[in-house]
Amino acid sequence: MGAIAGAYGVQGEVRLKSFTADPEAIADYVPLTDEDGTRSFEVQIVRPIKSGFAARLSEVRTKEDADALKGVRLFAPRDRLPALPDDEFYHADLIGLAVHDTGGALLGHVAAVHNHGATDLLELRLPGSSRTVLLPFTHAAVPTVDLTAGRIVADPPEGLME
């Protein structure tokens, strides 16, 4: 859902990066937890700032408390997330899926999903190797995503898998 980028000011506010489609909607999913679910936070957005928001988190009162949370990623339970249209996917649902070519041969498994501005990229870990490749997550390169079957059918650009 988001990540804490450190303290903002000296009053215990944090610099919050939101990964939701509507960035301010991150506050709609409270309480948010850390990755292992041991800490829970209520979130109040104070104001927009460069690259995110200044926010107040429950239990965070000082700059030192806020600094200690730098790098903490924030999560919401899956059942609180909205349903998506048929052609959209949560990154967490794609990670781990097997990726096959149009002929059925295994290309690898999705290790991560990246976005550097232009389009999402699926990082595929190749079978029997530590090597990865980045597959554009477009309809042309990835014509089928079947979450029920746990597989993706891909038609990678020529030369990508070499």
User: Is 73 inside any structural domain?
Assistant: yes
Q: What angle do CA 104, 110, 111 make, to 5 degrees?
A: 150
pTM for the whole structure: 0.71
- Final residue belonging to a domain, choices 48, 78, 108: 78
Both 13 and 74 in a single domain? yes
Both 28 and 61 in a single domain? yes
Residue 8 dihedral angles phi and psi, to the nearest 5°: -125, 105
Over its length of 162 residues, how does the chain's per-residue pLDDT go in tens digits?
A: 899 999 999 999 999 999 888 899 999 998 999 989 899 999 999 999 998 999 999 989 999 999 999 999 999 988 888 888 888 888 889 999 999 999 999 999 999 999 877 789 999 999 988 899 999 999 999 999 999 999 999 999 888 887
Identify the domain containing residue 53 by its residue range: 2-78
Q: How many domains does the chain have?
A: 2
